[in-house]
Structure 1
């Protein structure tokens, strides 16, 4: 019996490695001798550093940078095993978990610390930067990142803009001639788990700003500010990127990376699965178990579960998903090859109780799923 266990992190509750361990423990209560291959996954956001450093034999490093509100923040980044590739998770310097709910304000938060991490990577002589987008507390379109790397954002009076997405409304001139010249010798690739454009009904502000603390008026203001930012990026670089899929990722940082770095955007889950040689792990597997904190329509659009589903379906291995909760549109996962989706919370509980009990809930639900499979003869064949 071989089972590949490959969850994403359960946000604000369990890292992917702990989630995989809990699932494996539940399975082994039914099949003590099962070959549980634990491959914790990430999609370019939280958990990507740990997954790829482990897979490549890389090195984790730490630098003090500015956090999303300018506060001193210790942020991690990595040099992967080839010694030439830096991996940066933007959420390490500008992520939502760095702020309390009361501090969340996407009109003011900045990605400046992300640019500081990129500069630290350049100091080490890397020739390739992998930039993971996701989990941002920001809606500044990557403007702060560019400022940290030497760009100048000036208002009509020639004064530097203050940090934050709201300030982009006042941008009169974007000057890129001061960018760190070492960027010209570096390839930038971006892991992006969403396909949203920069602005509009499916844009970054409309879809993601509310969870970062913006009310309806703030969403409208930020959407207009990012539309202006997109026009300024096009004028400064000659690249029209606002409508491209992924331009709205991480509060619009995708647009800055596409326009200024000519970055290649790729689903982060593919980065991670390739590094882990995921296809080889599927050989001979009877079952795949993945999961995340909330399964919904977005899960089908480039996140961990959709990536696992594509490869599991191609290999002919059935996939079970364990989810902390089910949201609107989760049924979109079934056509991708997901065999079943099981919520792990046993009954009505508070959010705090659900987060605190995630490990035990995963363990119990995995055990029940294995028991059902065993009773149906799964120990002697595939889940078909």
Structure 2
């Protein structure tokens, strides 16, 4: 049995020890680095964000954790999950593709996009998300957002947004779980999220479980708690994991937990990878639109090549048979000007749909 972790606490007096923690072994912890004399901007000061969990400041015996108890069963509302689910910008109509591209009929809208625009939020809440978008399809609200925005939202805020927007599905609240945080800090954030989730599961929309955690134990606890709410669809945020070279490791943690607690009934969505790729799991991303804004279109087969458009893309150089490119060719337009973000975005979206479907991009004419 571990008697003391690297965090400096006595495991015997720590409220985490036992079912949640087997002893802190987080060698990348910033508080541990502080103990060793290292200094970082934003910590090691009177306003340090880790004061409430610092072993030098807080007696472990005084720490109380609010353990969530499942109180509801999640509803099943979504139809079959598409292989590629586009994230759109609620405030940028150039990303509203459904007037031109028939499929997919499922979109993800970021709650944070509405939060930063009171006018947009008021309109979407008044009309409902599907009514505001004029979309004959399914809507999913993503709660993935910056930490400072996340910290401002209470359970009542989430309930108000979700009841007004009336999405078909939503992610449970995001949480701050970073590998260099003290374990107590990430546990508190994760438990806060899961406690709110147990109440939000009562809403008349399907709950998609956001898999969060700073280590294997937290990932497993997260999935276990969500599974007790009868959640069968999950999303693994991947952008920061890819950036830090941790995606494969945490994907393995997630898959292990899903197999143990959900069995073969689960669906997993890889959420927000910055680069496009083909995978056996459904993939949700805004990259198709972000790259269009950067004048980059997708061409070729795997691996995908991003061509930056210096001045224009000549259609006779592109074999693509996607609806966006065919319409331009039929109108005998010789090139797509770089300011035509919409045309490039529609091409990118169609490309990703093909990439994630049987037959791949060869269906569009690429070899």
Fold similarity call, TM over 0.5 = no
Which structure has more relative contact order (CA 8 Å, sep 6+)? It is 1
Q: Which has a greater percent of strand?
A: 1
Structure possessing the higher radius of gyration over alpha carbons: 2
